[in-house]
Amino acid sequence: MRIESGGGGRHGGGDQLPPAGPRRPGSGGAAPRHRATFVRGAKACFLRDIPFSAIYFPCYAHLKARFSQEDGTIGPAKMLLAGALAGMPAASLVTPADVIKTRLQVAWRAGQTSYSGLTDCFWKVLREEGPRAFWKGAGVQKGTASDRGSLSSAARVCRSSPQFGVTLVTYELLQRWLDVDFGGR
């Protein structure tokens, strides 16, 4: 899991996390506090990943069909392009959910805002930082450098979009090479 938090500031800080605490015998290796954090993080991941998939897969299917030749075949380069392009709107539109997920999963330190769940996180971020805080990394911040937001947006898309293209082209090529139909038939 990657923690997207800068150094210092309200939600960033030093490189050390608080000690995990003792493990109890028979607890499966995680203290109850850590399990609760995992579940809270899982709910936030669902909040981000379900809408992402609802946007991404239809976009990918549409682009793949559009890039296919008349006989329905499509090469790996066009599949990669379709996957990367489909990742752009999907990643951008779920940024608010990603911000909430990140805030819930980052271990808070003294002096920082702590969150008790999804709803609490949403309202505290909205009250304390305003609605633009939900779009951090999506290029809508206004700061001292007016171009910082657009550079941030371009960086986010350039980082995440190719990942989605590589994932689906790999899936599609493995399906072809292994002669396996995962279509549910």
Which of 91, 104, 72 is CA-nearest to residue 161? 91
Query: Do 86 and 56 contact (CB within 8 A), yes or no?
Result: yes
pLDDT of residue 139: 53
* Beta-carbon count within 10 A of 81 CB: 17
* Cα(91)–Cα(53) distance, integer angstroms: 10
Locate all alpha helices (DSSP H) within 11-135, ordered by sequence: 32-67, 76-93, 95-105, 118-129
pLDDT surpasses 50 at 4: no
60: pLDDT strictly greater than 90? yes
Encoded tokens for 152? 């941030």
**pLDDT higher than 60, residue 24:** no
pLDDT band at 166 (very low <50, low <70, confident <90, very high): very high
Q: Which residues are within 8 A (CB) of 32 and not within 5 positions of it... i.e. 6 or more apart?
A: none
- Note the pLDDT of residue 140: 44
- Per-residue pLDDT of 107-163, as tens digits, reads 778 888 888 888 999 999 999 999 988 887 665 445 444 344 444 555 666 778 888
Residues 33-44 pLDDT 10s: 666 656 656 888
- Predicted pLDDT at 184: 45
List the domain boundaries for the chain.
Answer: 32-177
- Largest CA-CA distance found in the chain, in angstroms, rounded: 63
182: pLDDT strictly greater than 60: yes
**pLDDT per residue over 72-100, tens digit each?**
889 999 999 999 999 988 888 888 888 88
Structure confidence at residue 23 as a pLDDT band (50, 70, 90): very low
Considering the entire predicted model, what is its pTM? 0.66
